[in-house]
Amino acid sequence: MSALSTKHLLGIKDLQKDDILRIFDTADEFKGVLNRPIKKVPSLRDITIANLFFENSTRTRLSFELAAKRLSADVINFSASTSSVKKGETLIDTTKNILAMKVDMVVMRHSSPGAPHFLSRHIPAVVVNAGDGTHEHPTQALLDAFSIRAKLGHDLEGVRVAIIGDIWHSRVALSNIFALKKLGAEVMVCGPPTLIPTYISSLGVKVEYKLEHALNWCDVANVLRIQLERQDSSVQDIPSLREYAQFYGISKKILDSLAKPVVLMHPGPINRGVELTSDAADSKHAIILEQVENGVAIRMAVLYLLATDLNQH
C-alpha cells in the first residue's frame, strides 16, 4: 500500500486532507535533514526517477532533481527540446523507451492538460505531475500551502488567501484552490474579468475584480504572472501589460499602506514591473524564496511517500 491514498500524484483534486497533512509532516522531517551539514538520506537508494520535461522549467525541474538526489535515488533528466521528440517520437514511445531502462518513477511536465493522467494509464511506473498545461501543478500548491503554514505558525483553517492575476491560464491557481479549500482556508481570486473563468465560483471561492479590495480582505496574497504563452493570440485578454500593471501591479508602497500586514507569495517566474514591482518582490512581505526552499522538502516528501509501494517489492 502507498502511504498516500493514491498511487500517483496527478492533482490535488485526488488527494484527501489527510494525504496533504501526511505530506506536510514528512516535509517537516526532511526540512530538518536539509538543514543538517549532511543533507542526504538513503531512503530511495534503489529507486530510479526520470524527470521528463516537455515544457520549460527552472524551479520545478531543479527542485525535483535535488529532492531525488537528497533521497539517494538515481535520477535521469529528459528535456523535450534536446530529445528525439523533435524527430516526431510520441509521448508513449518516448516514455516506454525510458522505462525500458528500468525506471520506477516518472516526474512529468507537459503543456497538454491531462498528459500525466494519460501516461499513468499506460505505464507501470508511479507518475508525478510537475505541471500539465493550464490544469494542475500539485507540488506547487503543496509547497505554497506548506509555506503559508510555516510563515503563520499555525494551520490554514480560516486563513484568507487571495490568488491574484491570470487565473484563466494558471495551473497553480486551480491546484492552490483545491489545496487551500481542503485545508479550511478562505479563498478569493482577483484579476481582470477576462482572466477569471466564470466556473471558478462553483469551486467555493470569492471573485473580486478590484486589487485594493482583495488586498484589504486577505492575509496572504499569492500573485501569478500573465501567461502570454498560453493566451490565444487572436483574442486579446488584456489591452497591454502596461495597463495590467497599472490596475493589478503590486508595489511595496501598496503593501506598506495596508491596515494589516499581508504575506506576499509568487510561484515564479516573476515578471518584474508587471504583477510585482522589484521593491515588492524583494520586500520583507515576500516569502518567495522560502517557497522555493520549501519546495525541495515537499518534493522529497512526495517522492518518499509515493515510493513506499516500490520499496516493499
Measured between alpha carbons, how far is 151 from 188 in angstroms, rounded to an integer? 19
CB 170 within 8 A of CB 227: yes
- Which of 3, 22, 28, 57 forms a contact with ligand CP (CB under 6 A)? 57
Closer Cβ to ligand CP, 43 or 52, answer by number: 52
Question: Nearest CA to 25 among 288, 289, 297, 295?
Answer: 297
The phi and psi torsions of 93 (rounded to 5 degrees) equal: -65, -45
Largest CA distance in the chain: 58
Answer whether 164's CB lies under 8 Å from 211's CB: yes
Before 269, cis peptide (omega within 30)?
yes
What string marks each residue from 109 to 128 as x (binds ligand CP by CB under 6 A) or -? --------------------
Q: Is 59 in the site for ligand CP (CB under 6 A)?
A: yes
Site for ligand CP in 136-175 (CB under 6 A): 137, 140
Among the listed ranges 86-94, 112-120, 263-271, 278-286, the one in contact with ligand CP (CB under 6 A) is 263-271
Interaction between residue 60 and ligand CP (CB under 6 A): yes
11 binds ligand CP (CB under 6 A): no
User: What's the chain's Rg over C-alpha atoms?
Assistant: 19
Residues 268-287 close enough to bind ligand CP by CB under 6 A: 268-269
The residue range among 52-60, 93-101, 155-163, 214-222 that interacts with ligand CP, by the rule CB under 6 A, is 52-60
Element (H, E) at 77: strand 74-79
Residue (3 or 270) nearer to ligand CP, CB: 270
Residue the block writes with cell 510561484: 267
Beta bridge partner(s), residue 105: 49, 126
- Residue with smaller CB distance to ligand CP, 58 or 236: 58
Single-letter residue type at 160: R
DSSP 129-151: EEEETTS--HHHHHHHHHHHHHH
Smallest separation (angstroms) from ligand CP to the CB of 245: 20
Of 5, 16, 35, 58, the one binding ligand CP (CB under 6 A) is: 58
Question: Residue 267 interacts with ligand CP (CB under 6 A)?
Answer: yes
Stretch that binds ligand CP, among 57-65, 76-84, 201-209, 238-246 (CB under 6 A): 57-65
User: For residue 184, what are the contacts with CB-CB under 8 A and spacing of at least 6?
Assistant: 155, 156, 157, 158
Say whether residue 133 binds ligand CP (CB under 6 A).
Answer: no
Residue 181 backbone dihedrals phi, psi, to 5 degrees: -65, -40
Catalytic residues: 59-60, 87, 109, 137
β-pair partners for 79: 53
The one segment of 11-19, 51-59, 97-105, 244-252 that binds ligand CP by CB under 6 A: 51-59
Applying CB under 6 A, which of residues 131, 138, 192, 249 lies at the interface with ligand CP? 131
Contact positions toward ligand CP, by CB under 6 A? 57-60, 131, 137, 140, 267-269
